[in-house]
Structure 1
Amino acid sequence: MKPEAKAIEPFHTSAGDRALVSAPAVEEIESEPLPADRFSNRELSWLDFNARVLALAEDAGQPLLERAKFLAIFSSNLDEFYMVRVAGLKRRQEMGLSVKSADGLTPAEQLTLISARTQELVDRQGRCLEDEVLPALEAEGIRIVHWKTIDKPDRKRLSEYFSDHIFPVLTPLAVDPAHPFPYISGLSLNLGIVVRDPVTKEERFARVKVPDNVDRFVRVKPGVDDYLPLEDLIAAHLVELFPGMDVIEHLVFRVTRNADLDVEEDRDEDLLQALERELARRRFGPPVRLEINSTGSSEVITQLLAELDVDQGELVEVDGLLDLSSLWQFYGLNRPSLKDAPFVPATNPAFVEGETPKSVFATLRAGDVLVHHPYESFATTVQRFIEQAAADPKVLAIKQTLYRTSGDSPIVDALISAAAAGKQVVALVEIKARFDERANISWAKTLERAGVHVVYGLVGLKTHCKTALVIRQEGRTLRRYCHIGTGNYNPKTARIYEDLGLLTCDEDITADLTDLFNVLTGYSRQTEYRNLLVAPHSIRSGVIGRIEREIEHQRAGRPGLVRLKMNSIVDEPVIDALYRASRAGVQVDVTVRGICALRAGVPGLSENITVRSIVGRFLEHSRIFHFRNGGDEEYWIGSADMMHRNLDRRVEALVQVKAPSATARMAGLFDLYARPDTRCWLLGPDGWERSPGAESGLAPVDIQHELLRSGAARSE
């Protein structure tokens, strides 16, 4: 069978990519077609990723509060998964859309498997908390206590706190013929209460929402790290909320709702207004999950399922505390011995300043600079680049994409300062960035008021590329400088997300970026670039073309090599190209943090494919692509994962990195990921396994800690 040429669309490729795919046809590589069961389910693969996060919480080698943090992250991740992915599957099921996933499952079949896997993972999380983390915290003097274990003086103090600070904001809502079942907001914590009229003996249901604008865990007494869950405090005082009634039982429950937005961008109206309208509707999305404390009676649970219109398969029973994302409160305690050691990011050697301040522009004229966050400082590299551009009188214009940024963004402040100084400033603010929509709408309005030209990108596409372009007058000529990265312009996440960025004044790259901004802000329909691959036109075809080229090299006796690092790999044409490469003998090495629909190590299909996942202190976020190319190595970085949404529904950009010092550095990263003693998970035909195993005799090495140490050494 010949390679699937239809997956490579020549009319979507740049001139260089057309040369790749129009070269002499690749000879037949496979003797048999690719098997139908070659893809893993993306939703179950995501749950596998969250299981790896949970495994860090279960790891006794982690500092104690870091374990609590990973329990919180696991919960937050699962919330978003249900709000978006499960919500989408449920919507398709309800609409009667039985389109199967790439692995052959209907929406209903996927929902059934998700429900079972979620319950299994939530049970694991509960055991980790109750059997390991809480006892270890108690040994360190940090306790979560319950009302019945608190002595009378402390109860009196807490009752006064309840009366003064909690009781006034509580609103018990009855359910009876005159009071319909109340609306339950998404992700809120609630008490479901059964009360009995002592006269009529009639039982009624009521709901009390646990306030979310106070700490979830109430300190029992000053100076002692004993904490009472807020829902326990409220439950202990229910008689004050229902005087004259008998409180029969209560349980804690939580509802997750569909939070995906449906903005019709082709309407003849302002996109910002349309998005604001949809955001107002988000809190009223249909339920997709009901979490309950397992202490509730079957009658109350049945009533909740009926009133909320939730299926049994959408019920998750929790033995213990609900919503462990609130464990972030404990991570905020001043207990440094229970956390990872703090670190100061190094300054990239190219930007180290002596007694005389150094111009970023002079540095970039001397050569390209590759920066690696969080090991290298965002503030002294990317942020400095934008701030110096804003302050430099020779800079005429700044153009930048903003997908996510921080609440007090120095990047936004610099753009505002630049506009105030009379520079031409263009900010492409992606107001559809999921769960950051409100913040980005606010930034867009702030920037517009400051005189920045704000645009929202292309209809039907999210702008996800991470790019900044500076135009500077230097003598009689204009010189362009730019940054293209894998991560957002967010100084806060730059301390916890692992990302790469290229700073350069290369004429081809900056010319490409000029053309790309013209596409984003104007009516240009350009799809070909000199040194960029840009989705939705040329990333898929460019990557597949380069994989096919490795097959050609392999068949010509030049060993092929493809090394990829990304957040997720789901796109079927790309995966199939990797399978064909593996069958041809090309060595394929994939490092993926999250979803992986590719099956590794399957005989006759993917023996030459290694897939590993690194999950640790920092969120691995960079996207790197390496092709050996017969010795003429190619390295690319950018914003795109190998997913349908990135390749078809977003504006993404990959840039080829050519500076020898930068490519050597990326080669070193790939070598570090592939070390046999690297602490990671390896994907086999039957799923993920921790590596290295005890039988290997190797002490596992945390490469993030290794990179921290090497960065600290460089800064000394």
Structure 2
Amino acid sequence: MSFALAADQPGDTNVHETRAAHPKKNESPAIPEDRGILSPDQAQTATGHFDLDSPEWSLNRELSWLAFNRRVLAEARDERNPLLERINFLAIIGSNLDEFFMKRIGGLKQQVGARVKLLSTDGRTPQQQIDECYEVIRELLDQQQRLETEVLGLLARENIHIRRYADLNRRQQEDMDRYFHDNIYPLLTPQGMDPAHPFPFISNLSLNLLVATRHKEGEHSYLSRIKIPAGAGIPRLVRVEARRHVYVFFEDIVANNLDAVFPGMVVESCTRFRVTRNAITNRLMDQAVDLLVMIESALRERKFAEIVRLEVDADMIPHHRIMLASQLRLDSRKDVFAVDGIMAKCDLRELVAIERPGLHYPAHMPVDHPKISQDAPNIFHLIREEGPFLLQHPYQSFTATVERFLKEASVDPKVMVIKMTLYRTSANSQIIEYLLDAARNGKQVAVVVELMARFDESANIHWATHLEQAGIHVTYGVVGLKTHSKVIFVVRRDHDGLMRYAHIGTGNYNAVTARLYSDLGLLTSDADIGKDLTEFFNFLTLGYAPQRRYKKLLPSPNYLKKVFLGKIARELEHQSKGRGGLIQCKVNALTDTDVIRALYQASQAGVHIDLIVRDSCLLRPGIKGLSENIRVIAIAGRFLEHSRIYYFKNGGAEEYFIGSADLMQRNLDRRVEVVAPVETPALRAELRGILNLQLADRRGAWDMQGDGSYVQRRPQPDGEQRSAQEILIELNRKKLADEQKVMKRQRRIPKRKKS
């Protein structure tokens, strides 16, 4: 017995429709001058035609996020990407959709169950959103399946094969049978389903076999469930031969050795199924007596949470499908998704580990920051005398900058205090080790651990307990607010008194994602920022008294949103006085209705607005009289765009900011975020370069349309063929090489003798 790996039809080249956009040759990709900017009088007239509170001027958040996955699918389809990287994008879509069902569909189903009547900003009920999402998801899955067929065929041409057990030769089957008895059979726990054996508990995202058997001479069928073991080094794809890349799925080996599991029985059918559970819990944080205990309890509850999706093999017997849906309390017509091919495509990432350089992106190793020399004995001297420094990950090394900053702080005898926020970190975290070293070395260490970082709660509880046992002062932030900021704060006794040093970033303190996500960081000893961080951490560790004064930092909640809205209004005023308003933002998401309204108003007044938004964007660009002065692009590529940059022209007195906050209500109103100004001309020039490169990108950029769809850009035949990410890799290598040449020349110049 085996499973279909892919649909029989050949690959469809129209997996994702892309409409090429070709701007005029003379058009400036960074700041166009001929965008039909409205005069103030025209804007006033146009304003009267638009009710900015109307749902029609907002797109749907869930559908916008699914559009992001269309762009990921396009990367999987794009023949310009190496083959194993295309496989990786297919796996990412699978993982993304799993999370979408757990978080977004789960939340919407809770609203339906609670009979919530509140409409989304675009005027849809929770049930309408579910129905429309399901329609888009089924289309996405169909396209993903067709693409799976195509790329598996291309893999076979490269001598990488995923085979059905039935297609293996006799020797290979015998090898897999031995593998089953030695490595799989002891792990299996078949569970019957009859009056003496109630329907078993099905864990979230587990892969299962539904097996129907009968006695050889009997007619009555028995149903059983076998959970396919996962984790702890158990591969989903089992390699058939040591010297060749031939693989067979774990569950296919099990399905073809069921005679050992059900001796003396006839196996009538064997099909796969998989469930997705809601990850949203209803715990009230402000009523928690002990947040740690509450989160641990919520994690236990999540294991038994409501099931929101059932995936089944397309050839599952109809009454088996109906039975499963009934037992799992699902609508068999809506909540069941038939899979004709690989189930749990996220596991395809196992193939991505195959070492075939020609099938991967060119090797990328983050370079050292050109100004942070490994030869320099003390990073604090560097920051004080030559800083501040802007860090660009993954182009520049996380280890040689952020980890080095914390490592040196942990052993430097002059460092007295280390404070930091911790949202997510890697499994084998050097960050944690350096914090522990600091505590052992007598430093005062305080860490704000966010226990409610979705899907990282268990890991963060572990780290919090580990840190507390070492004598580190651990707090969980402010009740009712997630601490999403990315800050390390160090107090050091320098020769002239206490000095405050800081790292403020856009990404998590995670060495793994620092090589996969595009993020920024600021290493600074700015006195005002240091004073602001003193207030900021007092707010976090006290858990109350939020009315604090900040001179440079823009924290949320209560402060950041007001400041941003004020800066948008200021650009409108500059525009009205003929000074030309310009706003440019690079964020992961734009969903806050107050910010969107303010941007619409600024556009109506003639302010030019460039938005680089990775995934969800509810603003509708390019609508005459409303948003024709707004353009929105999205970047998809090798690295996940994760940095946040905010720019305001301010009548020529330009302002640049970076930080952890997106333009979402949750970030601005319900999370503790930090956004910091970048004031040094050289660092501002770096940010300007990043913005200009991404706005000009014709390889990885998509232009958003007013209806929420996206058009993929295409390079001109005689134009730049590389993406902004590829150019940034090269630019950072070149900057390091140029700096090393300068340093080499300086070492050769003899020092002049004093007269």
Report the alpha carbon displacement of residue 445 of structure 1 after superposing the two structures with TM. 1.1
Paired residue for 1:91? 110
Does the aligned pair in 2 maintain the 1:84–1:259 contact within 8 Å? yes
Paired residue for 1:590? 611
- The equivalent position to 2:82 in structure 1, one of 56, 63, 73, is 63
- Please say if 1:611 is aligned against 2:605: no
C-alpha distance in 2 between matches for 1:505 and 1:662: 15
Report the alpha carbon displacement of residue 52 of structure 1 after superposing the two structures with TM. 0.9
Paired residue for 2:123? 104
C-alpha distance in 2 between matches for 1:80 and 1:464: 19
C-alpha distance in 2 between matches for 1:661 and 1:294: 58
C-alpha distance in 2 between matches for 1:381 and 1:609: 36
Q: Which runs of 5+ in 2 are unaligned?
A: 1-42, 738-755
Report the alpha carbon displacement of residue 268 of structure 1 after superposing the two structures with TM. 5.6
C-alpha distance in 1 between matches for 2:712 and 2:291: 48
After superposition, the CA RMSD in angstroms is 1.7
Does the aligned pair in 2 maintain the 1:350–1:363 contact within 8 Å? no
- Please say if 1:573 is aligned against 2:590: no
Q: What is the TM-score when the length of structure 2 is the normalising length? A: 0.89
Question: Kindly tell me: are residues 99 and 475 of structure 1, through their superposed partners in 2, closer, same or farther at Cα, counting changes over 3 Å?
Answer: same
Does the aligned pair in 2 maintain the 1:123–1:318 contact within 8 Å? no
Paired residue for 1:37? 56
Paired residue for 2:24? none
Paired residue for 1:278? 298
Moved more, 688-697 or 268-277: 688-697
C-alpha distance in 2 between matches for 1:411 and 1:29: 53
Does the aligned pair in 1 maintain the 2:215–2:265 contact within 8 Å? yes
- Please say if 1:253 is aligned against 2:273: yes
Paired residue for 1:22? none
- Please say if 1:438 is aligned against 2:458: yes
C-alpha distance in 1 between matches for 2:48 and 2:63: 31
Report the alpha carbon displacement of residue 198 of structure 1 after superposing the two structures with TM. 3.7
Q: SS in structure 1 opposite 2:223?
A: strand
Report the alpha carbon displacement of residue 676 of structure 1 after superposing the two structures with TM. 5.9
Question: Kindly tell me: are residues 243 and 413 of structure 1, through their superposed partners in 2, closer, same or farther at Cα, counting changes over 3 Å?
Answer: same
- The equivalent position to 1:77 in structure 2, one of 84, 91, 96, is 96
Q: What is the TM-score when the length of structure 1 is the normalising length? A: 0.94
Does the aligned pair in 2 maintain the 1:374–1:496 contact within 8 Å? yes
- The equivalent position to 1:193 in structure 2, one of 197, 208, 211, is 211
Mapping 1:615-626, distance limit 5 Å: 615-626=636-647
- CA distances 1:213-241 after superposition (whole Å, capped 9, x unpaired): 32111112221111111111111122222
The AA in structure 1 aligned to 2:573 is E
Question: Kindly tell me: are residues 677 and 221 of structure 1, through their superposed partners in 2, closer, same or farther at Cα, counting changes over 3 Å?
Answer: closer
- Please say if 1:168 is aligned against 2:186: yes
Q: SS in structure 1 opposite 2:321?
A: helix
- The equivalent position to 2:497 in structure 1, one of 470, 477, 495, is 477
- CA distances 1:54-102 after superposition (whole Å, capped 9, x unpaired): 1111111111110111111111111111111110000000111121110
Q: SS in structure 2 opposite 1:330?
A: helix
- Please say if 1:362 is aligned against 2:379: no
- CA distances 1:103-130 after superposition (whole Å, capped 9, x unpaired): 0000100110111111111111111111
Paired residue for 1:684? 705
- CA distances 1:524-582 after superposition (whole Å, capped 9, x unpaired): 33343111111111121111111111000001001100000010110000011111111
Paired residue for 1:295? 315
Paired residue for 2:10? none
The AA in structure 2 aligned to 1:339 is H
Mapping 1:242-641, distance limit 5 Å: 242-267=262-287, 269-311=289-331, 312-354=333-375, 357-475=377-495, 477-522=497-542, 523-641=544-662
C-alpha distance in 2 between matches for 1:341 and 1:528: 48
Report the alpha carbon displacement of residue 200 of structure 1 after superposing the two structures with TM. 3.8
C-alpha distance in 1 between matches for 2:242 and 2:46: 72
The AA in structure 2 aligned to 1:64 is L
Q: SS in structure 1 opposite 2:499?
A: strand
- The equivalent position to 2:672 in structure 1, one of 640, 651, 656, is 651
Moved more, 60-69 or 219-228: 219-228
The AA in structure 1 aligned to 2:461 is I
Report the alpha carbon displacement of residue 36 of structure 1 after superposing the two structures with TM. 3.3
Paired residue for 1:10? none
Does the aligned pair in 2 maintain the 1:681–1:688 contact within 8 Å? no
- Please say if 1:154 is aligned against 2:172: yes
Paired residue for 1:4? none
Report the alpha carbon displacement of residue 196 of structure 1 after superposing the two structures with TM. 2.6
Does the aligned pair in 2 maintain the 1:123–1:319 contact within 8 Å? no
C-alpha distance in 2 between matches for 1:623 and 1:179: 54
Does the aligned pair in 1 maintain the 2:592–2:665 contact within 8 Å? yes
Q: SS in structure 2 opposite 1:470?
A: strand
Does the aligned pair in 1 maintain the 2:383–2:524 contact within 8 Å? no
- CA distances 1:226-271 after superposition (whole Å, capped 9, x unpaired): 1111111111122222223221112111100012234333346321
Q: SS in structure 1 opposite 2:709?
A: strand
Does the aligned pair in 2 maintain the 1:527–1:534 contact within 8 Å? no
C-alpha distance in 1 between matches for 2:366 and 2:46: 47
Question: Kindly tell me: are residues 49 and 676 of structure 1, through their superposed partners in 2, closer, same or farther at Cα, counting changes over 3 Å?
Answer: closer
C-alpha distance in 1 between matches for 2:546 and 2:60: 35
Q: SS in structure 2 opposite 1:488?
A: coil
Q: Across the two proteins, how many residue pairs are aligned to each other? A: 689
C-alpha distance in 2 between matches for 1:359 and 1:147: 57
The AA in structure 2 aligned to 1:224 is R
Q: Which runs of 5+ in 1 are unaligned?
A: 1-25
The AA in structure 1 aligned to 2:490 is V
- CA distances 1:361-412 after superposition (whole Å, capped 9, x unpaired): 3333333111111111111111111111111111110111111111121111
Moved more, 562-571 or 144-153: 144-153
- CA distances 1:637-684 after superposition (whole Å, capped 9, x unpaired): 110011121111110111111111111111111111111635311101
Does the aligned pair in 1 maintain the 2:214–2:265 contact within 8 Å? yes
The AA in structure 1 aligned to 2:228 is V
Identity over aligned pairs, percent: 44
- The equivalent position to 1:144 in structure 2, one of 162, 170, 176, is 162
C-alpha distance in 1 between matches for 2:460 and 2:654: 39
Report the alpha carbon displacement of residue 695 of structure 1 after superposing the two structures with TM. 8.0
Moved more, 70-79 or 675-684: 675-684
Does the aligned pair in 1 maintain the 2:417–2:443 contact within 8 Å? yes
Report the alpha carbon displacement of residue 464 of structure 1 after superposing the two structures with TM. 0.5
